[in-house]
């Protein structure tokens, strides 16, 4: 149970710092406060536990001296110039190779990220080694020809071990045997530009949805699912009524058929035969 003050003055004073904020920011702040209050007062969690539960982005990766972290905002600049924020820098050479690691928060991603970080720390070109610059991932993407040719190494194709990955990535004759991604969405494909538009649109959706409180998304998803389920079952009452009517009609037909069959059966008369008495006279001499 949440108690709200009845004083509008206190409510106005509490909302004064957020006057310049937008409605989503105000709702986000109010919801975070309510959630923190519930976690602290009801579940008796400390601040560290609350921060861990409310951390939407997961544990961020530590900065790496020889690896770039790609985001929705910097990926074009990084892949084009090997810099974070200088789009006018000299472009990356056509012979350079990017190795991108696509990762998540799952345990498999953590193992691959740690292994690829070690590879980048010792063998990347930025560290003075023989391998190209490395990004992060459990799915490893090898990009050549200015990222126009993409090859993929899934986690089932390579062990998450620094030595194994270093040996694999240093053998160009080996990883070049992997098929280059070809298709309508691949670089040079028919719908390449549409994929880029979709990626930008999805980035905006993700950025906007991240500002919406979790409980609002949960309530909205529950409402949508409830609407969908009700829509699928909207004719259940009618179907059940039709089924009951059809069943009753069939039962009535069966009973009428049984009655008519009984009335049309041939009647059999039961008679008791009484033996006829005969008197026999005998003539006596």
- Tokens (6 digits) for 280: 């026999």
Q: What is the pTM of this model?
A: 0.40
Query: Which pLDDT score is estimated for 155?
Result: 64
101 phi and psi, to 5 degrees? -110, 115
Q: Which residues of the chain have pLDDT under 70?
A: 1-35, 37-39, 41-45, 49-68, 93-96, 101-114, 116-139, 155-156, 160, 261-285
Quick one: pLDDT at residue 168? 78
pLDDT 10s digits, 222-246: 788 888 887 877 777 777 888 888 8
d(CA 270, CA 162): 104
Q: In this structure, are residues 134 and 170 in contact, taking their beta carbons and an 8 Å threshold?
A: no
CATH of domain 75-181: 3.40.30
Q: What pLDDT shows up at residue 219?
A: 76
Say what the pLDDT of residue 10 is.
32
Which residues lie below 8 Å from residue 85, measured CB to CB, with a gap of 6+?
Answer: 74, 77
Segment (H or E) for 223: helix 214-232
Domain-by-domain residue ranges, the chain? 14-54, 75-181, 185-231
pLDDT tens for each residue of 107-125: 656 666 667 666 666 545 4
pLDDT for the residue numbered 80: 74
Sign, Cα dihedral of 165, 167, 170, 176: negative
């Amino acid at each position: 149970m949440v108690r709200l003050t009845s004083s509008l003055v206190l409510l106005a004073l509490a909302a004064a710092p957020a006057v310049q904020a937008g409605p989503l920011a105000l709702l986000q702040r109010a919801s975070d406060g309510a959630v923190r209050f519930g976690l602290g007062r009801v579940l008796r969690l400390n601040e560290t536990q609350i921060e861990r539960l409310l951390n939407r982005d997961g544990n961020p990766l530590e900065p790496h001296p020889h690896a770039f972290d790609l985001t929705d905002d910097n990926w074009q600049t990084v892949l084009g110039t090997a810099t974070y924020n200088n789009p006018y820098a000299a472009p990356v050479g056509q012979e350079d190779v990017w190795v991108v690691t696509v990762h998540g928060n799952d345990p498999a991603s953590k193992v691959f990220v740690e292994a690829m970080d070690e590879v980048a720390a010792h063998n990347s070109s930025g560290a003075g080694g023989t391998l190209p610059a490395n990004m992060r991932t459990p799915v490893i993407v090898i990009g050549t020809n200015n990222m126009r040719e993409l090859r993929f190494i899934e986690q089932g194709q390579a062990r998450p071990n620094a030595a194994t990955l270093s040996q694999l990535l240093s053998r160009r004759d080996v990883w070049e045997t992997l098929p280059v991604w070809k298709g309508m969405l691949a670089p040079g494909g028919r719908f390449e530009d549409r994929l880029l538009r979709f990626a930008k649109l999805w980035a905006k959706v993700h950025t906007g949805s991240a500002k919406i409180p979790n409980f609002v998304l949960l309530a909205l998803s529950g409402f949508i699912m409830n609407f969908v389920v009700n829509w699928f079952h909207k004719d259940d009452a009618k179907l059940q009524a039709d089924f009951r009517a059809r069943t009753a009609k069939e039962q009535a037909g069966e009973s009428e058929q049984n009655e008519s069959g009984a009335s049309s059966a041939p009647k059999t008369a039961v008679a008791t035969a009484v033996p006829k008495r005969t008197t026999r006279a005998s003539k006596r001499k």
